């Protein structure tokens, strides 16, 4: 028989293991033997994987466990809000409250509106003359953020939204985001004030953001809700415009 895996120099074994998909490393390869478990729990393998895949910024991570989490969080990093810009009408948005004439989707820049700072955004949701709200609940486990990661590492959860008025109408805007447990108890909450945009505003788009950190164990869902209305009670869609909402779990 030829040389066995155990007799390979550790540096060579790390290079071989680094070519295996990360999920398989953690769920299968770790169980092969003590040596493999130690390598997969160590920093060197994940540093190599980060380097190979161009994941930068990990240099600040101090201990081995963080390298593995940094790798997974970097790979998964994406906007967890579905249909953030109205490309699919109101799909994926639940608990919709249609005050006045209800929600409508319009193309940028819209009447008395301004272009959005990013060329990738083409549409927005617009509110009416009574409160319009809509919400989306993100299931973190379904998105691949396992319980131990959420409970121990507690990665930052970054929430962003964009809102604008139209220059011929005043409006109100609100954002409320909750981190929920398995039973949907509220473990952390961010609520903006009610933001008032005056009637003679310049229609420019404004970003609002909040970062949750050190929120404690048990977070399984993120509930994102926003909405608004106009302040003139004009029939139609003169209320606040919202688009490009995002929730990301950051390394």
Residue 152 and residue 188 in one domain: yes
Q: Which one of 71, 102, 121 terminates a domain?
A: 71
On whether both 223 and 181 belong to a single domain, the answer is: yes
- What's the pLDDT score for residue 54? 85
86 in any annotated domain: no
pTM, full prediction: 0.85
Would you state the pLDDT for residue 76?
Answer: 84
CA 55, CA 49: separation in Å to the nearest integer? 8
Q: What's the structural domain count of the chain?
A: 2
Whether residue 145 sits in one domain with residue 203? yes
Same domain, 48 and 141: no
Distance CA 127, CA 107 (A): 14
Q: Using the 8-state DSSP alphabet, how is residue 12 labeled?
A: H
The predicted pLDDT at position 64 comes to 47
Structural domain span for residue 50 = 5-71
Quick one: pLDDT at residue 66? 77
- pLDDT range class, residue 3, cuts 50, 70, 90: low
CB 71 within 8 A of CB 22: yes
Q: In this predicted model, what pLDDT tens digit does every residue of 30-72 receive, in sequence order?
A: 999 999 999 998 888 998 998 888 887 655 555 545 788 888 8
Cα 32 from chain centroid (whole Å): 35
Residues 18 and 121 in one domain: no
Residues 56 and 99 both lie in one domain: no
Q: Do 17 and 126 lie in a common domain?
A: no
- Tell me, yes or no, whether 123 and 230 share the same domain: yes
């Amino acid at each position: 028989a030829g040389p066995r895996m155990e007799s390979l120099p550790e540096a060579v074994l790390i290079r071989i293991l680094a070519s295996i998909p990360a999920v398989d490393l953690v769920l299968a390869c770790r169980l092969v033997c003590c040596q493999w478990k130690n390598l997969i729990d160590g920093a060197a393998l994940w540093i190599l994987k980060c380097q190979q895949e161009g994941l930068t910024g990990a240099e600040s991570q101090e201990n081995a466990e963080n390298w593995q989490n940094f790798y997974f969080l970097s790979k998964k990093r994406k906007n967890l809000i579905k249909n953030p810009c109205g490309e699919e009408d109101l799909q994926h948005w639940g608990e919709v409250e249609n005050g006045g004439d209800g929600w409508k989707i319009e193309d940028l820049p819209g009447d008395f509106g301004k272009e959005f700072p990013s060329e990738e955004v083409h549409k927005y949701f617009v509110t009416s003359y009574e409160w319009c709200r809509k919400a989306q609940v993100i299931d973190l486990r379904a998105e691949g953020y396992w319980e131990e990661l959420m409970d121990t590492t507690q990665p930052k959860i970054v929430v962003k939204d964009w809102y604008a008025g139209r220059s011929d109408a005043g409006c109100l805007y609100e954002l409320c985001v909750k981190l929920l447990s398995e039973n949907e108890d509220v473990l952390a909450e961010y609520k903006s004030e009610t933001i008032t945009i005056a009637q003679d505003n310049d229609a420019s788009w404004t970003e609002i953001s909040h970062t949750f950190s050190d929120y404690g164990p048990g977070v399984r869902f993120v509930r994102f809700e926003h909405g608004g209305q106009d302040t003139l009670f004009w029939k139609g869609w003169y209320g606040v415009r919202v688009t490009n909402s995002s929730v990301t779990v950051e390394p």
